[in-house]
Homo-oligomer: A and B are copies of this chain.
Amino acid sequence: MKKLEINLDHIDYQILRIMQNNARTNNADIARELGMAPSAILERVKKLEQKEVILQYNAKINPAALDQNLLSFIFIKTSDIIGEQGIAYLLAEIPEVQEVHDIAGDDGYLIKVRTADAAGLVDLMRNTLGKIEGIISTRTTIVLETIKEEQKLVIPTV
């Protein structure tokens, strides 16, 4: 993650707040809401994208609609030397793996995985994780139900 030497003002914050809640809000609507000209908003949005303040625009899809009903967190102990993350990048390439975090303590990595069901998880662990050299052990936590799941950040007011 890059260093950001950017100063965001309260108008930027408002734009970010709107975009975070509905990435398909059009320029004209944002402009109306903030009482500015659309061209000025467009200019700011482009800069926010350029400066990587806005990283991407995603549609959040219902996992159940695609039969991906099992969410799991797996702690992975590896032979990676501290500071190196070779295995982390291998893990990141697996499509079912949504997140890979290098964590403090001796667990190594924490990954978040979405599969259709328990069988899919077993399959992934056996046939994909099992094939990765250097994984010493894993500890899996199964999610029974998700009460909240979003990536929204707390945006400063004013």
Contacts and interface: CB of A to CB of B under 8 A. Distances in A.
B58 A20 contact: yes
6 contacts: A16-B66, A57-B59, A61-B155, A91-B147, A99-B148, A149-B151
Interface of A: 1-4, 6, 8, 16, 19-24, 51-66, 68, 71, 73, 85, 88-89, 91-92, 95-105, 107, 110, 114, 141-156
B95 A154 contact: yes
Given A24-B23, A57-B60, A4 B65 contact: yes
Given A60-B57, A65-B6, A144 B102 contact: yes
B141 A104 contact: yes
Contacts of A102: 143-147
B57 A62 contact: no
